[in-house]
Chains A and B, each alone.
Chain A
Amino acid sequence: MIKPFSFHLKKELKNHLLDYLLLITAGIFFLILLNIFRGQRIIEFIVLVSFALFYIIWGVYHHIINETLHLKTVVEYILIAFIIIFLLKIIILP
């Protein structure tokens, strides 16, 4: 039987529940801060960079406790974080 996407997603979230809860909490906090500082472009950008840095740290922490940390993994988190920062900089701080 083919298991749906949601099955695999739930399984992954369940296996690392606390880690993902931490990431989701940070994400919600990021949205709340953006809402508070809406229109203040420099602060919005600082909030975005902070969230991206948190995401890199989260990635490193998550892979350390799962004993799967590898340089390639860290580079992947850094690359994704900075792609997003540069893309959003065009919108927030052109």
Chain B
Amino acid sequence: MERVKNFIHHLFIPHEENNFRAKSLHTDFLTVYLVIAFLMTIIFKQANLHNVLGFATDISVDKLYQLINEQRQKNNLPSLSLNSSLSLAAQKKAENMFQENYWSHYAPDGKTPWDFILGANYKYEYAGENLAKNFLFSNGVVDAWMNSSTHRENILKKEYTEVGYAIVNGTLNGEQTTLVIQMFGTPLASSFVSQPVQANKTIQNIPIENKPQQVLAKKTYQPKINAFNFSFNLNIVFMAFLLVALALDFYFASKFNIIRIGGKNTAHFLFIIFVLAGLFLSTIGTII
């Protein structure tokens, strides 16, 4: 126990034995961190952390589905069931968005979300669509939707009974993007008027054909997702370690009036804080 205590003391507190600078901040230690960071970039690249288009995310259908139902349960609403036809419609919508290069509920050729839903042979009484792009985490997507009144209304609409998802990577307006398409629906009990709701908009009636349903809801990148989450957390832990080491070294050096040759801990501290803020900023995407 005493050895562990001494080791931690040596690692974080400036004193005579570590040349009045926390050992964890010595140039040799920093060089080791740099080599580890460099090796990590190579290992994660070799491990194919990213998807085919080189954009990594931790968004999965399972997680989105779970979070949305949690929100509904909190509001005393029944859970939605995952529908493969709605997932197929979402998949087709995402593919169309990349093909036609647009970020909107409506395609440039006038195609609406309801066309994709009906095209997937889903006869609906109510239908809705939420879109998101550039998010890194499922929680971020759901939080953004819940913070927007129209998207929140879709998620908490009591009429909806089913939901479908597509998480698709591609290039939109020259930028590599992960699109998240969420389609809600209430199947038509009998053949009467269809009433779609996309963020409180539009109504349509379109004839429907019957086709075999495809299961697309499970089409995610689970192994890569875990690796991405791991690398993200590793980044946070490592930067937190550096911040703690810098803060302790700065405090004790100031307290004992230690004068030494070296960089300014306050500057390093500020630099890492800004980078961390930037890292969190990059996890926030866009919704419509």
Residue ranges of A at the interface with B (Cβ–Cβ < 8 Å): 2-3, 5, 8-9, 11-13, 16, 20, 23-24, 27, 30-31, 34-35, 38-41, 44, 48, 51-52, 55, 58-59, 62-63, 68, 70, 72-73, 75-77, 79-84, 86-94
Tally of chain B residues near chain A (CB < 8 A): 56
Residue ranges of B at the interface with A (Cβ–Cβ < 8 Å): 25, 27, 30-31, 33-34, 37-38, 40-41, 44-45, 49-50, 54-56, 133-134, 136, 175-177, 228, 231-232, 235, 238-239, 242, 247, 250-251, 254-255, 261-264, 266-268, 270-275, 277-279, 281-282, 284-286
> B-side binding surface: helix, strand, loop or mixed?
helix
* Of the residues B56, B177, B261, B264, contact of A91 by C-beta under 8 Å: B56
Q: Are B31 and A88 in contact, with the CB atoms below 8 A? A: no
A20 to B267, CA, bound (A): 8
A9 to chain B, nearest CB (A): 7
Q: Are A31 and B49 in contact, with the CB atoms below 8 A? A: no
A59 to chain B, nearest CB (A): 6
A39 to chain B, nearest CB (A): 4
A77 to B278, CA, bound (A): 19
Number of A-B contacts (CB under 8 A): 149
A83 to chain B, nearest CB (A): 5
Q: A8-B255, A94-B49, A94-B228 are in contact. List 5 more A-B contacts (CB 8 A).
A: A27-B271, A38-B134, A38-B282, A87-B37, A94-B54
* Of the residues B37, B41, B254, B272, contact of A12 by C-beta under 8 Å: B254
The 7 closest A-B pairs by CB, nearest first: A39-B134, A8-B254, A27-B274, A86-B37, A94-B50, A76-B263, A79-B30
Which chain A residues lie closer than 8 Å to B284 at the CB level?
Answer: 38
* Of the residues A5, A30, A82, A90, contact of B251 by C-beta under 8 Å: A5
Chain B residue nearest to A54 in the complex (CB): B271
B35 to chain A, nearest CB (A): 9
* Of the residues A40, A58, A84, contact of B272 by C-beta under 8 Å: A84
